[in-house]
Homo-oligomer: A and B are copies of this chain.
Amino acid sequence: MPKLLVCNVCVLWQHSNERERREREREREKHTHTHTHTHTRTQTDGLHCTLHSAHFLALCCTHSSSAPSASVLALCHCSLVPFSTPAAFSRHGRRLHTIMAVRHYTIDFKLCGPADHAATVRGLQSIFQEQEMTETVHDTEGHGYLATFIGKNGRFAVMRVHSHGLVTFDLQCCKGDDQAQVDNLLNALEKKLRTLLSGKIQRVKRLPALRRGEEIDRYWPTADGRLVEYDIDEIVYEKESEYQNIKILHSQQFGNILILNGDVNLAESDLPYTQAIMGSGKEHYAGKEVLILGGGDGGILNEAVKLKPKMITMVEIDQLVIDGCRKHMRKTCGNVLDNLKGDCYEVLVQDCVPVLKKYAEEGRTFDYVINDLTAVPISTAPEEESTWEFLRLILDLSIKVLRPSGKYFTQGNCVNLSEALSEYEELLGRLSCKVDFSKEVVCVPSYMELWVFYTIWKK
């Protein structure tokens, strides 16, 4: 038995796939004498066990931080492979195809005045020498000091001293690189710079590493263009339909999240979205006729059927959205998508525009029309014009099929995009039928920004 199995963490290897375990055992035995062995506990990833040899081999175990105690820690990502061909495994030990990924670390020193380039650079030399990093100094044509460094295992660093009081440091490491070594380098550098720049420092900022090129993308920026990292740990469903790219990703805290064409649509945590777009609990659905436009995640349908309406008609264009959500968003849709027809509802897998036109011609009307199709466009650039046109078309048709006492519910966009929201409100004033509206700001958990919802009715 290889020596490293003494470790309480690594012993969990024995619970993973038997064939893979044996393969790994053989690999370990080959390299066990030259291994060094480090455990680190990180804020984000639970417990790491890193092993590295003098040659090229690395083993990195990351254990789920959501496990209730150390004794039942689950193995979530493992690789025991040469540095030059990293591999990854899913939460359940399934081998993902070979991937290349980079962790990009930054440390920035904001100063209250210019730094002494020469002294700063000289003071750091021993750190880079210890790390066996080869330095190249660049001619910046008067824009401060700039040096790049090449290190072991593909490590690459940029050190920049800007003329007017900013020192930036970047370190890019390949995923699987020894985490303890990388942390040591960053800590040593930060400590040394704090000494060298002491008395001049206004702020030191060391951000969580950017994870670039990873199998699972964790960055889904907000509608108002801010960078946010989600706690996504698994790709649950991915399809390219006739209409859009459909992803369902698993977030540790939000549950499964439906993402359409890169936009976070709804997570299993997001009942506040569904409640808001149904009138925030202030409406009486019992005995009413309801029309849902879109809503393929089944959230609105699932909540609405509980309120004993007379009939709900839902018109969703994309069967693949329904298929994915029926299986992977059950906290949202319950069992309402298991059949396209129930006691008090029917799901039409169709484009809603011809359906709305037909209803308008027939004079069919509804007590509630809920538009869950698309958010207000965030721009009025030419390429967005068609979205505004579509929004107006849907609005006009929806108001036509709305009873005089009826209500039309829809989302707007994030509260920060006030220009886009104003434009939408102006559009409401230019409809063929006069309407009035109210709005509400709601916190939808997985959105990471406050969202505006509208209630519209005939004047």
A: which residues have CB within 8 A of B?
41-44, 46, 65-70, 84-86, 97-102, 104, 106, 108, 110, 112, 136, 138-144, 146, 148, 150, 153-154, 156, 158, 160, 162-166, 168, 170, 172, 174, 203, 205, 207-208, 210, 212-213, 217-219, 221, 224-231, 252-254, 269, 272, 378-381, 414-419, 422, 443, 445, 448-450
- Smallest CB-CB separation from A224: which chain B residue? B44
A229 contacts which chain B residues (CB < 8 A)? Answer: 226-228
- Smallest CB-CB separation from A208: which chain B residue? B227
Sort A-B residue pairs by CB-CB distance and give the 5 closest, nearest first.
Answer: A143-B154, A44-B225, A100-B164, A166-B213, A43-B225
Instruction: Tell me, rounded to whole Å, the shortest Cβ–Cβ distance linking A382 to chain B.
Output: 12
Say yes or no: A138 contacts B148, CB within 8 Å: yes
Report the bound CA distance from A37 to B150 in whole Å.
Answer: 40
A42-B225, A207-B227, A253-B416 known; A213+B168 contact, CB < 8 A: yes
Report the bound CA distance from A241 to B170 in whole Å.
Answer: 32
A378 contacts which chain B residues (CB < 8 A)? Answer: 43
A43 contacts which chain B residues (CB < 8 A)? Answer: 224-225, 378-379, 417
Identical chains bound together, number: 2
- Smallest CB-CB separation from A68: which chain B residue? B422
A219 contacts which chain B residues (CB < 8 A)? Answer: 205, 207
Say yes or no: B150 contacts A140, CB within 8 Å: yes
A150 contacts which chain B residues (CB < 8 A)? Answer: 138-141, 146
Report the bound CA distance from A231 to B205 in whole Å.
Answer: 17
Say yes or no: A418 contacts B68, CB within 8 Å: yes
Instruction: Tell me, rounded to whole Å, the shortest Cβ–Cβ distance linking A203 to chain B.
Output: 6
A44-B226, A219-B207, A422-B68 known; A84+B163 contact, CB < 8 A: yes
A227-B210, A414-B253, A416-B252 known; A138+B140 contact, CB < 8 A: no
Instruction: Tell me, rounded to whole Å, the shortest Cβ–Cβ distance linking A73 to chain B.
Output: 9
Instruction: Tell me, rounded to whole Å, the shortest Cβ–Cβ distance linking A170 to chain B.
Output: 8
Say yes or no: A226 contacts B212, CB within 8 Å: no
Report the bound CA distance from A399 to B163 in whole Å.
Answer: 57
- Smallest CB-CB separation from A203: which chain B residue? B217
Report the bound CA distance from A204 to B253 in whole Å.
Answer: 26
* 6 CB-based A-B contacts, threshold 8 Å: A44-B226, A104-B106, A106-B212, A141-B150, A146-B156, A154-B162
Instruction: Tell me, rounded to whole Å, the shortest Cβ–Cβ distance linking A233 to chain B.
Output: 10
Say yes or no: B160 contacts A156, CB within 8 Å: yes
Say yes or no: B224 contacts A168, CB within 8 Å: no
Say yes or no: A102 contacts B224, CB within 8 Å: no
- Smallest CB-CB separation from A112: which chain B residue? B97
Say yes or no: B100 contacts A165, CB within 8 Å: yes
Instruction: Tell me, rounded to whole Å, the shortest Cβ–Cβ distance linking A384 to chain B.
Output: 11
Say yes or no: A231 contacts B224, CB within 8 Å: yes
Say yes or no: B381 contacts A164, CB within 8 Å: no
A141 contacts which chain B residues (CB < 8 A)? Answer: 150
- Smallest CB-CB separation from A380: which chain B residue? B41
Residue among A141, A154, A165, A217 with the highest chain B CB neighbour number at 10 A: A154
Instruction: Tell me, rounded to whole Å, the shortest Cβ–Cβ distance linking A62 to chain B.
Output: 13
Say yes or no: A174 contacts B154, CB within 8 Å: no
Known A108-B213, A148-B158, A162-B213; further 13 A-B contacts with Cβ < 8 A: A44-B225, A84-B163, A101-B166, A102-B166, A138-B150, A140-B154, A146-B150, A158-B158, A166-B213, A207-B221, A231-B449, A253-B450, A443-B443
A138-B136, A164-B86, A219-B205 known; A419+B158 contact, CB < 8 A: no
